[in-house]
Chains A and B, each alone.
Chain A
Amino acid sequence: MDINKVNTKILPVSFDYYAPSSIEELLSILKREEEVVFLAGGTDLLVKMKQRIVEPKVVVSLNRISELSFIEEKEDGLHIGAVTKLRAIEKSDVVREKFPVLYWGVRAIGSVQIRNMGTIGGNLCNASPAADSAPPLMVLNAELKTIGVEGERRIPINEFFVGPGKTVLKSKELLAEIKVPYLPPNSGTSFIKIARTSMDIAKINVAVMVRLENGRIGECRIALGAVAPTPMRARKAEEFLTGKEVTDENLRRAGEIVSKEIRPITDIRSTAEYRREVSKVLTYDALRIAIREASKE
């Protein structure tokens, strides 16, 4: 429905509301209720409810569960609670220093107000093909921990998205934690987003991780958003670059492969042709930046 024809001043749906203060309490609510909708920052959910795209009977707020909001450095990587505010991730020194690609991705989301409200788990579970936190976490090979009435699951982020607004999460299952492994030595990352205005959702975004090995590309990960039904890895371009020398020609060729590999559509933000064309340059630029970062060490 055209958002301009909706009365966005009110929420035209009534629902029961729970705000559990622990995971234990949350699970007992999930066992009792037939169908629930989870509320985190609300910046996507409430807009959908105003348009009646989502009309929940039961809303379960996750905002009082402190166990789901944390940023913790552990031996196997950085652990981020799913209900951690985007702004907390942006302000975290460890994210900025050790995972700059995530810092840049998160910073590209909306405004200060949106990032004060929105959460990392919400950005992922909303499953927008353009989610700015997704490509960075995909090139970092993040692992997602879910919880639900049927127990825990661990899902690689590269298998999490299945379509626009759709993830592998089952009903009454929620994302609890994101584990981000540390980057290997001699590696660098980058993130670039193109949008109509800096507040807008991406026309296209790209994240890159490159590990150099004796002057060659030892390992390479490229992820893009807003160019397919889900955020995607450009596996063919990654495969092409692996083991190759860092030459301008190889990097340009990788951009061309990406441009063929993506499956963009024409929508209000961009045309498919534009996305195909600009993906070449963006990939090239992102590779250049990541290689420069990798060479710094």
Chain B
Amino acid sequence: MKKLIEFTLNGRKVRVEVEPNELLLNVLREKLCLTGTKYACGIGECGACTVLVDGEAVLSCLTLAIEVDGKNVVTIEGLAKDGKLDVIQEAFLDEGAVQCGYCIPGFILTAKALLKENPSPTEDEIREYIKGNLCRCTGYVNIVRAIKRASELIKEGEK
């Protein structure tokens, strides 16, 4: 039985009709046309489908869309403001952290949650936090460096 749900998506209210068995991932990609969120393993091991729900990094491939009724969802499309990239996105470009790019939206949103929680993480803390995100190009060194750089850029911006 279809149900009309309403939630905040990247700062704007959206309303969409969903079946109980529809996954958030597919509703974002197919009904709301936001294809930045990626499907890969589908079983919670790779982190490619990571989105922020009420500020927390969660897996949209294991979340029923119906469960985000009334919540606040942020996808990779919601990070840039007024045509300007988020500082984490800038840092990923600066450090050459993007190879094929498929895992990057998940990595950037996980990094967003990390830096909100812990603005100056150590390298170990970064690696621990992103262990649920896999990069098949194995570009981890530059990804870790980019998150470190983002944390420094945020600090500089605050001065």
Chain A residues with a Cβ under 8 A of chain B: 3, 7-11, 13-17, 19, 39, 42-43, 46-47, 50, 59, 61, 63, 87, 110-114, 116-117, 198-199
Contacts and interface: CB of A to CB of B under 8 A. Distances in A.
A10 B26 contact: yes
Interface in B18-39: 19-23, 25-26, 39
A47 B20 contact: no
Contacts of A198: 131
B137 interface: no
B129 A11 contact: no
B62 interface: yes
Nearest to B1: A16
Contacts of A59: 20
Contacts of B64: 11, 17, 39, 42, 46, 61
B37 to A, nearest CB: 12
Interface residues of B, number: 35
Given A8-B41, A9-B26, A110-B132, A47 B21 contact: no
A113 B66 contact: no
B132 A112 contact: yes
Contacts of A14: 19-21
Given A9-B61, A11-B22, 15 more contacts: A8-B43, A9-B25, A9-B42, A14-B21, A17-B3, A17-B64, A17-B66, A19-B66, A42-B64, A47-B43, A112-B57, A112-B113, A112-B131, A113-B59, A117-B62
A114 B26 contact: no
A47 B59 CA distance: 12
Contact of A112 (B25, B42, B45, B110): B110
Interface string B41-84: 11111010010000011110111101101000000000000000
A3 B67 CA distance: 25
Contacts of B132: 110-114, 199
Interface of B: 1, 3, 19-23, 25-26, 39, 41-45, 47, 50, 56-59, 61-64, 66-67, 69, 110, 113-114, 129, 131-133
Nearest to B50: A113
13 contacts: A9-B61, A10-B21, A11-B23, A13-B21, A15-B20, A16-B20, A19-B69, A42-B63, A46-B62, A50-B43, A110-B44, A111-B47, A116-B57
Q: Which of A15, A39, A114 has the most CB of B within 10 A?
A: A114
Contacts of B23: 9-11, 46
B147 to A, nearest CB: 13
A14 B67 CA distance: 15
Contacts of A19: 66-67, 69
Contact of A8 (B20, B22, B42): B42
Contacts of A17: 3, 20, 64, 66
Contacts of B129: 112
